[in-house]
């Protein structure tokens, strides 16, 4: 009995000592997604839906840049990893994918997530637990407005792009009858609003507008409406198929005394290569990844990408690669002690960044979450996008 009492006294003393040490030593919080050897990023994108060509290629672009860094030994001893989840360009699936990445995988940040409504649907949950949203494949203003310290977007918004294009055509080409054709979606309405803002600035009125559903097949009615209104410039809130069909419909009908202007959403290899698209204009953010590009760094990227993935890159691959590279800059700037706060400061320290694709200079700061707002005008010539201007503003 005495031996048992002595033993219990010893255990209590040991437990008390352990508790005292625990109280005396402050707990070191583990940064989610970060270990001594790895940083884990998450990406929700479309691998199987209507935008899968963008989702697959952009995720490849992210992986390619991270692999390059890892082959060099990583950053401060940490390799970079990305977990990619398919959301099929559907909001409910995006919410599920985000939930997995946030709660099960406990990723450090999202990189290059795809789609305006999909990003918007995930913001509340990811920001609640401190997961930054880095360089989404969406140019909607909600990607950086209203201000949120965890949002980082690196280029011109759809509104910025279409305003710059209209400014150019009105001021430099003498266009007077500006019209808008747009998807009746959040994306399309951004183009409409950009056109309205620029028309107001220029002291002109939009002559006519025509909206359509993303699933529409026949565009004869809206094209006829815009032609009858006497438009000489049509700003397009369209993506791929709903860019190609209306434009070729107009040209086949003999409507040639009008310019059609798309945003970066229409600045796509498929649009440029489609039969009958010569003469179409789009606002670009970077060089198009052609294997015969006269930009050496772009040509090398195309060759390396094809060697790695056995397929040619599209513009989505470019966006993914640049998104990953900007995230890399933030991790490097954060230093060895990588925490959420040090990473945010590291991102804010990015100044005058230039990518390898002739994109705009990107800079952030304590209150700056849109890194650039310029875009350039490009035209389809002989089935390929050709840069027409230097970066434009409004």
On whether both 166 and 276 belong to a single domain, the answer is yes
Give the C-alpha separation, 259 to 249, whole Å.
Answer: 14
Q: pTM of whole model > 0.75?
A: yes
Q: What are phi and psi of 200, to 5 degrees?
A: -65, -40
**Pair 91, 163 in one domain:** no
User: Residue 2: helix, strand or coil by DSSP?
Assistant: helix
Q: How far apart are CA 67 and CA 72, in angstroms?
A: 9
378: region left, alpha or beta (phi > 0 left; psi from -120 to 50 alpha) = beta
Burial of 182 (0-12, 13-18, 19+ CB in 10 A): buried
**CATH number of the domain bearing residue 245:** 3.40.50.2300
Are 143 and 261 in a shared domain? no
Q: pLDDT over 70 for what percent of the chain?
A: 93
Average pLDDT of 327-349?
Answer: 99
355 φ/ψ angles, rounded to the nearest 5 degrees: -85, 180
Confidence of residue 101 (pLDDT cuts 50, 70, 90): very high
Are residue 113 and residue 184 in the same domain, yes or no?
no
Rounded Cα–Cα distance for residues 13 and 17 (Å): 6
pLDDT digits (tens, 9 = 90+) for 37-75: 999 999 999 999 988 989 999 999 999 999 999 999 999
Sort residue 372 into left (φ over 0), alpha (ψ -120 to 50) or beta.
Answer: beta
> Residue 249 in contact with residue 220, Cβ under 8 Å?
yes
Q: Are residues 162 and 120 in the same domain?
A: no
Nearest to 224 by CA among 258, 194, 249: 249
Same-domain check for residues 140 and 277: no
The SS3 of residue 378 is: strand
Give yes or no for a contact between 107 and 41, defined as CB atoms under 8 angstroms apart.
yes
pLDDT of residue 255: 98
Q: Is the model's pLDDT at 244 over the cut of 60? A: yes
Shared domain for 65 and 151, answered yes or no, is yes
Average pLDDT over every residue of 6-26: 40
Q: Indicate the DSSP class of residue 109.
A: E
Cβ distance 161 to 139 under 8 Å? yes
Question: Residue 61 is part of which domain span?
Answer: 38-156+294-363
Q: Is residue 289 part of a domain?
A: no
| Predicted confidence (pLDDT) per residue in 124-136, tens digit | 999 999 999 999 9
Total domain count, the chain? 2
Contact between 202 and 167 under an 8 Å Cβ cutoff? The reply is yes
pLDDT 10s digits, 221-242: 999 999 999 999 999 999 889 9
Q: Identify whether residues 212 and 352 lie together within a single domain.
A: no
* Residue 167 and residue 275 in one domain: yes
Q: What is the band of 23 on the pLDDT scale with cuts at 50, 70, 90?
A: very low
- What is the H or E stretch that residue 194 is in? helix 186-202
**Per-residue confidence (pLDDT) for residue 26, from 0 to 100:** 37
């Amino acid at each position: 009995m005495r031996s048992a009492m002595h033993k219990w006294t010893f255990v209590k003393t040991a437990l008390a000592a352990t508790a005292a040490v625990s109280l005396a030593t402050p707990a070191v919080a583990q940064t989610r997604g970060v270990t001594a050897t790895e940083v884990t990023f998450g990406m929700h994108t479309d691998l199987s839906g209507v935008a899968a060509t963008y989702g697959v290629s952009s995720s490849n672009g992210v992986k390619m840049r991270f692999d390059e860094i890892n082959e060099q030994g990583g950053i401060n001893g940490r390799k970079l990893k990305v977990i990619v989840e398919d959301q099929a360009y559907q909001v409910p699936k995006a919410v599920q994918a985000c939930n997995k990445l946030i709660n099960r995988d406990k990723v450090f940040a999202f990189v290059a997530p795809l789609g305006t409504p999909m990003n918007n649907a995930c913001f509340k949950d990811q920001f609640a637990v401190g997961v930054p949203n880095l360089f989404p494949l969406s140019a909607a203003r909600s990607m950086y407005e209203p201000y949120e310290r965890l949002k980082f977007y690196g280029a011109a918004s759809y509104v910025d792009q279409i305003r710059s294009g209209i400014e150019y055509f009105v001021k430099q080409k003498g266009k007077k009858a500006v019209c808008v054709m747009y998807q009746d979606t959040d994306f399309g309405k951004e183009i409409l609003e950009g056109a309205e803002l620029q028309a107001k600035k220029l002291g002109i009125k939009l002559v006519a507008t025509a909206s359509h559903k993303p699933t529409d097949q026949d565009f004869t009615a809206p094209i006829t409406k815009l032609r009858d209104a006497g438009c000489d410039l049509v700003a397009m809130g369209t993506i791929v198929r709903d860019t190609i069909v209306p434009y070729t419909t107009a040209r086949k009908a003999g409507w040639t005394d009008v310019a059609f202007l798309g945003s970066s959403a229409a600045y796509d290899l498929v649009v440029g290569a489609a039969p009958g698209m010569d003469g179409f204009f789009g606002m670009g953010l970077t060089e198009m990844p052609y294997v015969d590009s006269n930009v050496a760094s772009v040509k090398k990227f195309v060759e390396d990408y094809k060697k790695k993935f056995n397929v040619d890159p599209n513009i989505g691959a470019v966006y993914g690669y640049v998104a990953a590279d900007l995230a890399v800059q933030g991790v490097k700037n954060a230093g060895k002690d990588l925490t959420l706060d040090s990473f945010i400061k590291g991102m804010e320290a990015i100044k005058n960044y230039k990518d390898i694709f002739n994109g705009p200079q990107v800079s952030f700061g304590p209150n700056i979450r849109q890194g650039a707002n310029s875009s350039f005008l490009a035209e389809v010539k002989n089935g390929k996008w050709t840069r027409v201007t230097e970066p434009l503003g409004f």
